[in-house]
Amino acid sequence: MLSAIALLCAGFALVFDYLGLRQDMIIPAQERARQQTADLAAKIDTLLSQSVPIATALAEDLSGMEATPSLLVARLKRVLNTNPELLGVGIAYEPFAYDPDVRLFAPYLMRYEGELKRLQIENQVDYTVESYDWYHGPLKDGARWNEPRFSQAAGQQVIEYALPFFQKNPRTGKKRKVGIVFVHYALNDIFDEMNTLNMGKTGYGMMLSQRGLVLSHPVKAYVEERRPVLEIAAETQNALLENIGRQAAAAQNGVLEGVSALTGRATWANVQQIPSTGWTLAMLYSKEDLTKGNRPLRRRLIWISVLVITFALSLGTMDLARREKRSYFVLWLHALKASSLFTLGIALIWFLATDDVAWKNLERTVILSQNDLDSFRMNNIRTALRNRQPMPVYVPTGVFVQSIEFTSANNVILTGYVWQQYHNDVPDDLSRGFILPEAESSNIVESYRRKEKGGEVIGWYFHVTLRQDFDYTQYPFDQQTVWIRLWHKDFDKNVVLLPALDSYDLIHPERLPGIEQDFVLPGWKVSSSFFNYRFNSYNTDFGIPRYVGQNKFPELYFQIGVKRRFLNPFISNLTPIIVVLLMLFAVLITSSKESGKIELLGFNASTILASSSALFFVVLISHIDLRNSLSANEIFYMEYFYVVTYAAILAISINSILFSWGINIPFVQYRDNLLPKLFYWPVITLTMFVVTLIKFY
């Protein structure tokens, strides 16, 4: 009784410890996320608020100065020179307001490649057309933040603050509106601020305009189409997104909880208003970033299950001890209960094993955001300077995999595309192309070459066979990583390949960037895809003097995580073992010295030995076939089922001989060989529970 109470107390202590550890992970992270979001919103608000006095001062100056092209341009230059955070500044006069002989006049000055560039907007568009609200809105409503838009003059998405300016009529002395002044910020500069936050591996940010339109979101289509967030929420039937939209419409700050439409994970969203613009910043953090695949939490759950099983068994033992007479029914009931408890323990550990997230183990090198990539580049440049090496040449590289086929335990065939972006500042003598150094055989063909703004993009189709060392120790609950290792063709020139993040809608590993949507991989489930770096060293310089890649050179990998589907191994490997164990149990049940049962079942030791021998060869052939298919160099988890089955066959054979010879061993002879029958399933399930516990702990 005391032992049961002690186990119960220990169980409660473990449960409270588990809940406490979980809360210790979540609550500080929630507060940190809330504070990060509030600080970022304040930072953006401070930055944008500076536009108001800048634009106001410009409007006042225009009201009293002589409007000549040279003076106007000089004034615009002064604005940009004294405010380096601005992208551009411009003026748009009403028709014939600048000059009675000139219908439209709209000078615009912007930063371009480190210099100030002048454009005349009227040469590009007739901004008096009714659809151009950025011009008509401030004239009608006064000073305001226009909705973010694509500016043809700036050539990019901009944030725009505009207000009208006035001039006195020399005859009447009355002021009249003659046009608007406007200042621009680059919208991407604001979004880059969002990327500096540490949102975990699966978190992301979004920005909504005053009208609830999506300004920033990992799904590019939402941004390009300027879709209302409530429309997206209705389309995806996502309550969290709907609540964010309603909170934004009400201009309220707060923390919301729900399921992310993007990741399908339990998520909390920190919503903060940006007062100067009326926009809404929402930063979404996944709870499962902290808890899913967390080994300390998993181990506590395993220990809780062990204590629950031990406590339940102790209650059963006390129940048996209290009974004066133990009927067959009661004994079999307790044996069944013990076997069921161990089986449930095995199932729980299996479930926890499938919940593991392999890519999180590569936390230091996985590239999941522009912030990760910028940090890597800075560290790489520092390394080059410290080692007095040539400055790295960066080549953005993307990968798209269309098919994977496992042809053997170590060989895998992949097909798909690789593309590279070569900017104009790349040296002319640098080759175009890449190498797959681990390919056993490869067929790489150039598919396209396009001239783009600032450079060119080249794409290749590949069909390669890669030989890789897979880890099967946890088969059939193993998770494998198929990787594509990429070198630049001129790998001796300190060329570093960068993941082309802009080429993907979303870089979240579990959203499978770079993977064909209708991907078919029989027997496996693709669980993640991501870019990461490994710092590899070589014991040769490949015959190249001062080879920069010999010591800890960063090499780009595109990794595809796959989880084995359990159903196929269960049917092909576990089912025969379970059937053999059931048949062994049936053979054991036939053992009896009672004349009636002997006549009915025909028990004798030679029959049991013959049956055991036949079952042994069935298991042995299945075991050999499995070993040959995996070609593993170590003992993997599934093999322990075979080992237990061999032990069961041997034990049944020895028991039948001892029992039939009448050797005076109480365990064998008690109540017509009852104890071996009762302990058969509990011992087998206990053994497998212990093996599973050790293997996955």
Q: What is the CATH number of the domain that holds 246?
A: 3.30.450.20
pLDDT of residue 599: 56
pLDDT in tens, 332-368: 888 899 999 999 999 888 888 776 655 555 545 788 7
Are residues 457 and 679 in contact, defined by beta-carbon separation less than 8 angstroms?
A: no
Residue 119's nearest CA partner among 82, 149, 151 is: 151
Where is the domain boundary, 291, 321, 349?
291
What helix, strand, coil percent values describe the chain, rounded to 5?
A: 45, 25, 30
Report the first-to-last Cα separation within the chain, whole angstroms.
30
SS3 state at 46 = helix
- Rounded Cα distance, 410 and 206, in Å: 42
pLDDT at 147: 81
Same domain, 421 and 509: yes
Q: Would residue 370 count as lying in a domain?
A: yes
In this structure, are 405 and 545 located in the same domain? yes
The answer on 555 and 466 residing in a single domain is yes
Full DSSP string of 165-183: EEEE-TTT--EEEEEEEEE
pLDDT at 295 over 90: no
Q: Do the Cβ atoms of 13 and 19 come closer than 8 Å?
A: no
**pLDDT value at position 202?**
63
The alpha carbon dihedral of 139, 141, 142, 145 has a sign of negative
Last residue of a domain, one of 549, 565, 581: 565
Q: Is residue 499 in a domain?
A: yes
> Do 115 and 166 sit in the same domain of this protein?
yes
What DSSP string runs through 326-349? --HHHHHHHHHHHHHHHHHHHHHH
Residue 265 pLDDT greater than 80, yes or no: no
Percent pLDDT > 70 in the chain is 88
Per the domain annotation, does 150 fall within a domain?
yes
172-186, 190-204, 520-534, 583-597, range with the lowest pLDDT: 190-204
Written as one letter, the residue type at 228 is P
Confidence category of residue 541, pLDDT binned at 50, 70, 90 = low
210 phi, psi to nearest 5 deg: -60, -30
162 and 222 together in one domain: no
Structure-token pair, residue 296: 């300390």
Q: Which long-range contacts does 621-629 make (Cβ < 8 Å, 24+ apart)?
A: 622/573, 622/576, 622/577, 626/573, 629/409
Given a cut of 80, is residue 551 above it in pLDDT?
no
Tell me the two tokens of residue 62.
């225009």
Task: Count CA within 13 A, CB hemisphere, residue 330.
Answer: 12
Q: What is the CATH number of the domain that holds 692?
A: 1.20.58
In this structure, the answer to whether residues 88 and 227 fall within a common structural domain is: no
419 shares its domain with 541:
yes
pLDDT number for residue 438: 87
Count of structural domains within the chain: 4
- Least confident range of 114-123, 368-377, 521-530: 368-377
Question: Could you tell me if residue 313 is inside a domain?
Answer: no
Ramachandran angles phi, psi of 196, nearest 5°:
-75, -15
Q: Which of 153, 168, 189 is the last residue of a domain?
A: 189
Region for residue 181 given its phi and psi (left: phi exceeds 0; alpha: psi -120 to 50; beta: otherwise): beta
In a domain, 194, yes or no: no
- The pLDDT assigned to 689 comes to 93
Rounded Cα gap, residues 271 and 283, in angstroms: 7
How far is residue 448's CA from residue 419's CA, in Å, rounded to a whole number?
9
- Identify which of 491, 494, 489, 492 has the alpha carbon closest to the alpha carbon of residue 544: 492
Q: What are phi and psi of 34, to 5 degrees?
A: -65, -45
Output the pTM of the full model: 0.72
Residue 185: per-residue pLDDT: 84
- The string of pLDDT tens digits covering residues 202-239 is 677 888 888 888 887 777 778 777 788 898 888 888 88
Whether pLDDT at 554 is above 90: no
Question: Does residue 293 surpass a pLDDT of 70?
Answer: no
Residues 409 and 501 in one domain: yes
Q: Does a structural domain hold residue 648?
A: yes
Q: Is the pLDDT of residue 324 over 60?
A: no
pLDDT of residue 70: 85
> For 245-379, where are the E strands, in sequence order?
254-259, 266-274, 279-286, 366-367
> 444 Cβ partners below 8 Å, 6+ apart?
418, 436, 460, 461, 462, 464
Q: Tokens 């599934």 sit at which residue?
A: 638
578 and 561 share one domain: no
- Tens digits of residue pLDDT in 657-695: 888 877 777 777 777 788 889 999 999 999 999 999 888
pLDDT at residue 508, rounded to an integer: 76
Q: How much is the pLDDT for 65?
A: 75
Q: Which amino acid is at 585?
A: F
Q: Two tokens at 30?
A: 């929630």
* Closest by CA position to 41, among listed 161, 220, 197, 162: 197
359 within some domain: no
pLDDT surpasses 80 at 598? no
- Give pLDDT tens digits for 133-146: 889 999 888 888 88
- Domain check: are 172 and 212 in the same one? no
For residues 368 and 241, membership in a common domain is answered with no
Q: Are 482 and 559 in contact (CB under 8 A)?
A: yes
Say if residue 505 is in the same domain as residue 644. Answer: no
Across 312-325, average pLDDT: 70
Q: Classify the phi-psi angles of 75: left when phi > 0, otherwise alpha if psi is within -120 to 50, otherwise beta.
A: alpha
pLDDT mean across residues, the chain:
83
Q: Which residue has the higher pLDDT, 595 or 224?
A: 224
Residue 311 lies in a domain: no
Q: What is the DSSP letter of 570?
A: I
Tens-digit pLDDT profile for residues 25-53: 677 777 877 888 888 888 888 888 888 89
Residue 284: how many CB atoms within 10 A of its CB?
Answer: 29
Measured CA angle at 395 (ends 391, 397), to 5 deg: 150
| pLDDT value for 206 | 84
Q: Nearest Cα to 536, choosing from 557, 552, 558?
A: 552
Domain span including residue 10 = 2-48+199-291
- What's the CATH number where 471 sits? 2.70.170.10
